Chains A and B, each alone.
Chain A
């Protein structure tokens, strides 16, 4: 607790720098990451992160200094070239995009490593610290870095806000953007530039490999909570910033811990929890929905079955034993019993010693399912000209889905029909 207070009072200048730096970096790259993710090009960030290394080394070799600005320019140039190359290779040969990304990523990095080791072996004393680009140095950020981070973060956010509408269109409907005369090529270059900028700066904090996570993971997590781009951007920025603070806190309490990997670990946990738990899109929500649908289908099938049995003699309230139901339609006995009990609890069925019978409510609902089934069969034969022996399977599925509005439209469209294609009466 003491450490917690100490950390969050931000009395220590170092803590201030590290925290603020991590927040700026993680927040701004998350925003850019949203756009690359939506364009289904999440992994190009990874390629840029690796491709930055030769640029840094070349800048050092050519200029002979470790001036951060010159190194950043070098990094920016090769990062940018790598993205252009990926596009060029994919468009001008039969190499697929994933191969092109892997190729550019590993070859640029290989060149970078070759140059870096050559510099290290050359005995030039000024070189120490260049390898910070490989693994980052989030824990030792200083005021100077912070200024660079803030400038880039503000640039990125400003560009995003300024070109929000254009970028949005680029992500969701490129063709439309082209037809209404947006400079799509220019916007692509803008997005490329923003990505490279985010990577070049971020890489100093978390390193080459983990930079990809700063772009991809918060965006992927945010995507699960919303369908609106604006909300997604804000959410991704918050998730990124939170992980930034949390990572800085962990390495503050345990100084041996590297900040970058902890930021990534935390943001990954948030993402994985989002994949599992997010309402609507999450894995668990999906399972529950499937189970609910399955239950609904079982119940409706049982009601339909009882209604069918009653149809022959027009007495829907006769009590029928379970075996009679199972003979008519192959439902696993255990499932059937469960469904019947459920329906009874909802007031659609009554149970006596002899078996099960429909209540007036149950008759109504059973009749509706049968009606929808037959309406749909009729619709398929009349409008799609399917043979009448081909329509049953399809109607079996759709009868559980049709809404009352659709039912009304079907009735109107079919002119309130009396008989279905099998000459059974439509109730």
Chain B
């Protein structure tokens, strides 16, 4: 049963991250996703200090705010102070992460978070933290519920805003011309990324979030030219990685989050080498038609 819960958690994280990651890599913002996943740390710590519990809702709010703040700061440094964009990202997230670590050290006695957990989480503990109703009925692990709700939110966000998200990612000029606010959808997307990051944070840590945000969409990007196919494919790749990763971790007795990230990397490598349309070992022999 434990294996089921862990794999379910991993798959939920993988689905949310892969979906949003598709938009991030097409907008060339993969590293902004990386930055957000680190920078939400102070938000989590502050929410924790204010409420004194690991309750999910305040943490989601705190980290969601921090995520938007990160995006805003990066934009601000880049646009108004003219810091080059990669440096703006680097300065912002290391700064916020450092503040988070310092907050943890200052309130070490009160904050039940440790640095390792921040970086690579502990998905293996997911089944231990059960949600038990007042009647004593066990509803399954708390994290699964949080993640489930976040997944539904992300899914409906993508379905409802599909056209706007698609347009602002591929043709911001046209989107603006027909009256779709590019900055509104940009910030909505970033809020969604922050929410996902925080919801996944406790179970899988900051780095796996990045692996799942970037690797499955990048793999799917090598396999298809159709955006809808890319979305579906990357979710499938993410879920496969979650399942395989779990068994890999059990086999060599290591971190499950690390193993899932490893598998996403292997998936990418396979696609990079053998993708029917773009693999470097395949495409050499074929003459590629010009694609429009």
Contact = CB atoms under 8 A, between A and B. Distances in A.
Same complex for A and B? Answer yes
Interface of A: 37, 40-43, 45-46, 50, 89, 92-96, 98-103, 105-118, 121-122, 131, 134-135, 208-210, 212-213, 215-217, 219-220, 223, 256-258, 260-262, 264-265, 268, 271-272, 275-276, 281-283, 286
A398 B222 CA distance: 49
Interface string B242-274: 000000110011110111111011001000100
Q: What secondary structure prevails in chain B residues at the interface with A?
A: helix
Contact of A106 (B90, B105, B215, B254): B215
Contacts, number: 217
- The 9 A-B residue pairs with the shortest CB-CB distance, nearest first, are A110-B261, A107-B265, A113-B258, A114-B258, A213-B94, A106-B211, A268-B95, A118-B254, A216-B90
Contacts of B154: none
Contacts of B98: 210, 213, 260-262, 264-265, 268
Contacts of B101: 135, 258, 260-261
Interface in B178-212: 207-208, 210-211
A72 to B, nearest CB: 21
B25 interface: yes
Given A121-B253, A265-B102, A110 B260 contact: yes
B99 interface: yes
A281 B80 CA distance: 10
Size bracket, chain B contacts: 35 or more
Given A135-B115, A212-B94, A257 B102 contact: yes
Contacts of B106: 256-257
Nearest to A264: B98
Interface in B231-248: 248
Given A113-B120, A265-B95, 13 more contacts: A42-B87, A50-B207, A95-B218, A106-B214, A110-B259, A112-B258, A113-B119, A113-B255, A215-B90, A217-B94, A220-B83, A265-B99, A268-B98
B187 to A, nearest CB: 19
B34 A210 contact: no
Nearest to B214: A102
Interface of B: 25, 28-31, 33-34, 38, 77, 80-84, 86-87, 89-91, 94-95, 97-99, 101-102, 105-106, 108, 115-116, 119-120, 207-208, 210-211, 213-215, 218, 221-222, 248-249, 252-255, 257-262, 264-265, 268, 272, 278, 280
B90 A42 contact: yes
Nearest to A97: B28
Given A121-B254, A275-B81, A102 B30 contact: yes
A110 B29 contact: no
A44 to B, nearest CB: 9
B210 A102 contact: yes
Contacts of A257: 102, 105-106
A40 B105 contact: no
Contact of B94 (A93, A109, A118, A264): A264
Contact of A209 (B25, B102, B119): B119
A118 B262 CA distance: 13
Which of B28, B120, B254 is most buried by chain A, counting CB atoms within 10 A of its CB? B254
Nearest to A251: B105
Given A131-B116, A210-B94, A283 B208 contact: no
Nearest to A92: B280
